[in-house]
């Protein structure tokens, strides 16, 4: 997947700004009259990008694009984060998400199994390898050429739901009541 000259120019202008803010330039896409710049924290970071840093990045990028004017005509700038279920479009995206569950839709509409979901176990410049549940209950690995993928995204796996009537299902007895300093102190001493 190659960038247009305009997208590459945006990428060249935004990359140093993202780097100065200790962020990664995750993606740049031009969709009609919208130029979408996606920023993320570096791989392995404990937290995602926060709104304050995203707002600062938006101001800096907007100022730089206004100054350089790399996009002909009118456009809307959108600066965003990839979110918890992120789109995978480039080999770098796949390489960054190795070890995570992903959902893939193949471009070939006649494929026996067009939609796949499994753990991404490997990725390189041209392929992605998924560990899938096999028909026999075991696991099977399947390697797919990235250019044969129509869409792919990570899958956020939510934790188990609380059991009805269990802890955290509703307000417990005494919830919402403020404890006196004496009650709080005796609680700390018994711990």
Cα 51 to Cα 48, 54, 57, 140, 143, distances in angstroms = 10, 5, 10, 40, 37
The mean pLDDT of the chain is 84
Helix (H) or strand (E) holding 132: strand 127-133
Is pTM beyond 0.85 here? Answer: no
Contacts 24+ apart (CB under 8 A), 131-135: none
DSSP secondary structure letter of residue 148: G
Mean pLDDT of 48-66: 94
* Contact status, residue 100 vs residue 118, Cβ threshold 8 Å: no
Alpha-carbon gap, residue 154 to 163, rounded angstroms? 27
Alpha-carbon gap, residue 144 to 123, rounded angstroms? 9
- Residues 99-133 have pLDDT tens digits of 999 999 999 888 888 999 999 999 999 999 999 98
Which of 54-58, 148-152, 164-168, 187-191 is predicted least confidently?
187-191
pLDDT for the residue numbered 62: 95
Alpha-carbon gap, residue 90 to 178, rounded angstroms? 53
pLDDT for the residue numbered 167: 60
DSSP three-state, residue 84: coil
**Domains of the chain, with CATH numbers?**
5-80 (3.30.300.70), 91-154 (2.30.30.100)
pLDDT for the residue numbered 162: 67
* Contact status, residue 132 vs residue 118, Cβ threshold 8 Å: yes
């Amino acid at each position: 997947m190659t960038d247009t000259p305009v997208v590459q120019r945006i990428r060249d202008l935004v990359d140093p700004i993202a780097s100065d803010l200790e962020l990664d330039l995750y993606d740049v896409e031009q969709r009609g009259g919208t130029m979408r710049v996606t920023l993320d924290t570096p791989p392995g970071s404990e937290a995602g990008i926060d709104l304050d840093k995203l707002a600062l990045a938006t101001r800096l990028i907007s100022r730089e694009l206004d100054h350089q004017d790399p996009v002909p005509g009118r456009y809307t700038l959108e600066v965003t984060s990839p979110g918890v279920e992120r789109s995978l479009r480039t080999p770098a995206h796949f390489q960054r998400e190795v070890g995570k569950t992903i959902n893939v839709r193949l471009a070939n509409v006649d494929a026996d199994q067009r939609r796949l979901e499994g753990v991404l176990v490997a990725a390189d410049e041209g392929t992605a390898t998924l560990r899938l549940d096999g028909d026999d209950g075991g696991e099977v690995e399947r390697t797919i050429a990235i250019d044969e993928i129509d869409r792919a995204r990570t899958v956020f796996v939510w934790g188990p739901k609380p059991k009805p009537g269990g802890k955290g299902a509703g307000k417990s007895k005494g919830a919402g009541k403020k404890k006196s300093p004496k009650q709080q102190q005796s609680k700390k001493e018994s711990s």
